[in-house]
């Protein structure tokens, strides 16, 4: 039952909005995956179709927020905090729709040229080919890029002018008449008024509440000019009616992520388009510094340049300026701060170090897939940090934001059922446990996206599924601003092949699985045996002896080094993040044997595993068959250190590299 309205004098509009808000909060407790997110979406669509109700909705949400906060203070229950989170993010989205935030968002997302607010944003949606079949790719691409077909600059500029004047002038603005007037103007005149409106908003932000009167005067001046300029083309006596100026979807670039290097190319090309002059200046300065280096620095330049020459893009590639040489170059202190700014700002008691970072362009990277795609993203992110630690380019130009939408390649028999691919959605489940609002709105998309293509609606017409996916993605991009940091782990694999030992360095974010191929078929056959037979079987010989040494943290927080010789068929390692454990990051290492008596589980951050008896391991990272390594004799696993953090900073900052995946609440205490 929905609680009755506390104020009997409240308007019908607010009463309806109140009921919708209450239903939205009750949805948090729903167990149906097919329904989660739908009420939030319905409220979002209502707001976009009728912006006039935004003020009433803000009032309703603030009243409810005050009531919930008082209740939280009294009972101190986490469940009540979850409901507060839902209201806060709903309120946040409503606020974005009105005033200066709307204008800035449209200008940045649509890359509208102006001299007053020059920041740009770009959305890259990278889908894992291992999950996306050709039909599914075509379906999702059509859904996410549907809004791009109708996008043109004059229309966007008209909408910005219309929305800002409506929001600023309120009831004194004749919406229908203003819409007709803007439609009658030529594109060059629309651009003129667009520039004036952007300038007025930016000056208003700069001067704060003290410049409110001047801001309204400028809007009134633009309003009169627009009506006067097109007076002859407007039919007098038009009936005034609310006009929809919903926040348009950002420009979305959807592609299958086949090569990890593609992410670097996308980001560097975007940075090059945003600020070409500064990129060229940086490259010229970089070359000059390299030329004037002395002694061993020159030799280091040449050696590293020759070593990395094969990895560089061909001549003529627009990203050449970013990766021509990975030569040694002493980084300035300010650049080091930029590279470590997230860790510095997260340090207890610290304040933002670099205020100018808010003036960076924004690249929003959305990955779609299961744990495997986050594994690939982790590798790509580490590679970017390594490049930036040698020559700071992207970090000085771009604010990089990561988002994750879980998708499985398994067909769901029903929206609420578990699939065979559920075990590859470990990280999606983890993020859902950390942030229930993420679970409601993003994890619930899996059922809609993974629906069999034959059941999808006609792609030639906007369907409910199309709008739901697109609108939810936009909501996630705009309100999902708090990251959950997933720790990365470094693994060094010593391999033997053709009597030659080699060391391969890799990273993983969720899982590492290693088994001994000779025992794989025995383990498979044994798992098919009835439980009663398994208990009677004596299978001490079914396994191989491996040497294990690891560091264990005791209750006294002192590290204890242990060594064991275990009989096992395989090892399964799972990353446990502090976001869920409320402690610190660690690895759960499980040794599986044919004999249950030999099964062992430990928790650690550092471990070495070595085979004996001339046996080798087959290692798979993040459950991705594409990242399988054979003939492995030794594994050395430890937290992956951030290439962007210097050794001197280790005593003050956590040097572990983490993948920051945006959610709505981030890690809450």
Say if 661 falls within a structural domain: no
Q: Bridge partners of 569? A: none
- Asked whether residue 368 falls in the same domain as residue 293, the answer is yes
Number of domains in the chain: 4
Among 29-38, 136-145, 483-492, where is mean pLDDT lowest?
A: 29-38
| Residue at which a domain ends, from 469, 485, 501 | 485
Say if 241 falls within a structural domain: no
- Asked whether residue 333 falls in the same domain as residue 405, the answer is yes
Among 337-341, 496-500, 522-526, where is mean pLDDT lowest?
A: 522-526
pLDDT tens track for 515-559: 988 887 666 556 555 655 555 554 445 678 889 999 886 555 566
Q: Is the pLDDT confidence value at 62 over 80?
A: yes
Q: Which residue has the higher pLDDT, 394 or 98?
A: 394
- Across the range 53-80, mean pLDDT stands at 75
- Asked whether residue 204 falls in the same domain as residue 345, the answer is no
Residue-level pLDDT at 406: 95
- Across the range 152-174, mean pLDDT stands at 88
- Asked whether residue 224 falls in the same domain as residue 76, the answer is no
Residue-level pLDDT at 246: 76
Band of residue 60 on the pLDDT scale cut at 50, 70, 90:
confident
Tokens of 167: 């929001």
Q: Is the pLDDT confidence value at 460 over 90?
A: no
Backbone angles phi, psi at 33, to 5 degrees: -65, -30
- Asked whether residue 404 falls in the same domain as residue 314, the answer is yes
Q: Which residue has the higher pLDDT, 156 or 667?
A: 156
- Asked whether residue 48 falls in the same domain as residue 179, the answer is no
Say if 669 falls within a structural domain: no
Q: Closest by alpha carbon to 96, among 65, 42, 57, 135?
A: 57
Residue-level pLDDT at 335: 79
- Asked whether residue 192 falls in the same domain as residue 336, the answer is no
Band of residue 610 on the pLDDT scale cut at 50, 70, 90:
very high
- Domain around 399: 119-146+250-485
Instruction: Map residue 615 onto helix, strand or coil.
Output: coil
Q: Bridge partners of 183? A: none
- For every residue of 518-555, DSSP letters joined together read GGHHHHHHHHTS-HHHHHH---TTSSEEEEEEEEEE-T
Residue-level pLDDT at 119: 92
Residues 575 and 487: beta-carbon distance below 8 Å: yes
Q: Is the pLDDT confidence value at 78 over 50?
A: yes
Residues 57 and 17: beta-carbon distance below 8 Å: yes
Q: Is the pLDDT confidence value at 577 over 80?
A: yes
Residue-level pLDDT at 36: 76
Say if 240 falls within a structural domain: no
Say if 654 falls within a structural domain: no
- Asked whether residue 206 falls in the same domain as residue 262, the answer is no
Residue-level pLDDT at 218: 95
Residue-level pLDDT at 597: 72
- Asked whether residue 494 falls in the same domain as residue 550, the answer is yes
- Asked whether residue 459 falls in the same domain as residue 518, the answer is no
- Across the range 142-147, mean pLDDT stands at 82
Residue-level pLDDT at 328: 46
- Across the range 575-586, mean pLDDT stands at 83
Q: Which residue has the higher pLDDT, 585 or 171?
A: 585
Say if 394 falls within a structural domain: yes
Say if 243 falls within a structural domain: no
Band of residue 609 on the pLDDT scale cut at 50, 70, 90:
very high
Residue-level pLDDT at 80: 58
Give the C-alpha separation, 26 to 6, whole Å. 18
How many CA atoms does the CB half-sphere of 629 hold within 13 Å? 23
- Across the range 201-215, mean pLDDT stands at 88
Q: Is the pLDDT confidence value at 122 over 90?
A: yes
pLDDT tens track for 234-254: 655 444 545 567 788 898 999
| Residue at which a domain ends, from 485, 508, 538 | 485
- Asked whether residue 398 falls in the same domain as residue 477, the answer is yes
Residue-level pLDDT at 4: 43
Among 2-6, 41-45, 168-172, where is mean pLDDT lowest?
A: 2-6
Say if 225 falls within a structural domain: yes
Computed on alpha carbons and rounded to an integer, the radius of gyration of the chain in Å comes to: 28
Among 283-287, 333-337, 364-368, 614-618, where is mean pLDDT lowest?
A: 283-287
Angle at which helices 100-109 and 153-169 pack, to 10 degrees?
170
Share of the chain above pLDDT 90, in %: 35
- Asked whether residue 463 falls in the same domain as residue 580, the answer is no
Instruction: Give how far Cα 125 sits from Cα of 254, 255, 268, 426, 525, Å.
Output: 5, 6, 16, 21, 42
Q: Is the pLDDT confidence value at 321 over 60?
A: no
Residue-level pLDDT at 173: 87
| Residue at which a domain ends, from 485, 508, 525 | 485
Helix (H) or strand (E) run with residue 136 in it: helix 134-144
**What is the average pLDDT value for the chain, to the nearest integer?**
78
């Amino acid at each position: 039952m929905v609680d009755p309205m506390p104020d009997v004098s409240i308007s019908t509009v607010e009463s309806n909005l109140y009921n919708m808000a209450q239903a939205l909060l009750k949805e948090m407790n729903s167990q149906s995956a097919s329904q989660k997110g739908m009420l939030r979406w319905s409220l979002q669509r209502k707001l976009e179709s009728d912006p006039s109700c935004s003020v009433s909705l803000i009032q309703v949400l603030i009243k409810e927020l005050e009531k919930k906060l008082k209740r939280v203070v009294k009972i101190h229950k986490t469940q009540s905090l979850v409901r507060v989170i839902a209201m806060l993010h709903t309120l946040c989205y409503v606020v974005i729709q009105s005033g200066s935030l709307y204008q800035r968002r449209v200008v940045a997302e649509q890359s509208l040229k102006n001299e007053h607010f020059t920041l740009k944003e770009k959305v890259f949606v990278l889908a894992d080919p291992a999950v996306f079949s050709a039909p599914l790719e075509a379906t999702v691409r059509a859904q996410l890029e549907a809004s791009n077909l109708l996008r043109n600059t004059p229309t966007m500029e008209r909408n910005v002018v219309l929305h800002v004047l409506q929001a600023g002038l309120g009831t004194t603005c004749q919406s229908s008449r203003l819409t007709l007037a803007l439609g009658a103007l030529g594109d060059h005149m629309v651009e003129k008024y667009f520039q004036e409106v952007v300038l007025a908003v930016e000056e208003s932000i700069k001067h704060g509440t003290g410049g409110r009167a001047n801001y309204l005067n400028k809007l009134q001046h633009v309003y009169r000019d627009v009506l006067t300029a097109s007076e002859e083309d407007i039919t007098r006596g038009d009936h005034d009616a609310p006009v929809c100026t919903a926040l348009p979807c950002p420009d979305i670039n959807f592609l299958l992520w086949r090569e990890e290097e593609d992410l670097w190319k996308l980001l560097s090309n975007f940075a090059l388009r945003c600020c070409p002059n500064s990129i060229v200046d940086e490259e010229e300065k970089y070359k000059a510094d390299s030329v004037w280096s002395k002694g061993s620095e020159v030799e280091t330049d040449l050696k590293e340049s020759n070593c990395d020459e094969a990895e560089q893009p061909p001549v003529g590639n627009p990203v050449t300026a970013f990766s021509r040489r990975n030569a040694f170059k002493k980084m300035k202190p300010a650049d080091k701060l930029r590279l470590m700014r997230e860790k510095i700002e997260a340090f207890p008691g610290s304040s933002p170090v670099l205020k100018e970072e808010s003036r960076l362009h924004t690249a929003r990277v959305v990955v779609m897939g299961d744990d495997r795609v986050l594994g690939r993203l982790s590798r790509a992110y580490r590679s970017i940090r390594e490049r930036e630690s040698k020559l700071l380019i992207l970090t000085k130009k771009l604010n990089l934001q990561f988002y994750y939408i879980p998708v499985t390649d398994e067909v769901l028999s029903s929206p609420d059922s578990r699939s065979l691919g559920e075990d590859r959605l470990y990280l999606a489940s983890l993020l859902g446990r950390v942030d229930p609002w993420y679970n409601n709105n993003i994890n619930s998309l899996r059922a809609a996206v993974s629906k069999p293509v034959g059941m999808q609606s006609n792609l030639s017409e906007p369907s409910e599924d199309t709008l739901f996916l697109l609108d939810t993605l936009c909501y996630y991009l705009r309100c999902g601003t708090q990251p959950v940091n997933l720790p990365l782990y470094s693994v060094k694999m010593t391999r033997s092949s053709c009597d030659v030992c080699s060391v391969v360095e890799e990273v993983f974010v969720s899982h590492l699985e290693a088994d001994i191929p000779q025992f794989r078929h025995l383990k498979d056959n044994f798992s098919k045996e009835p439980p009663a037979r398994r208990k009677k079987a004596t299978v001490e010989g079914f396994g191989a002896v491996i040497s294990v040494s690891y560091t264990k943290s005791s209750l006294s927080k002192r590290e204890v080094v242990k060594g064991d010789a275990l009989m096992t068929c395989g090892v399964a390692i799972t990353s446990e993040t502090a976001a869920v454990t409320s402690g610190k990051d660690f690895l759960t290492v499980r040794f599986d044997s044919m004999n249950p008596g030999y099964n062992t589980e430990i928790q650690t951050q550092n471990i070495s595993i070595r085979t004996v008896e001339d046996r080798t391991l087959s290692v798979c990272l993040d459950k991705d068959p594409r990242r399988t390594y054979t003939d492995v004799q030794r594994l050395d696993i430890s937290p992956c250190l951030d290439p962007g953090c210097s050794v001197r900073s280790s005593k003050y900052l956590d040097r572990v590299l983490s993948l920051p995946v945006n959610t709505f609440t981030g890690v809450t205490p």
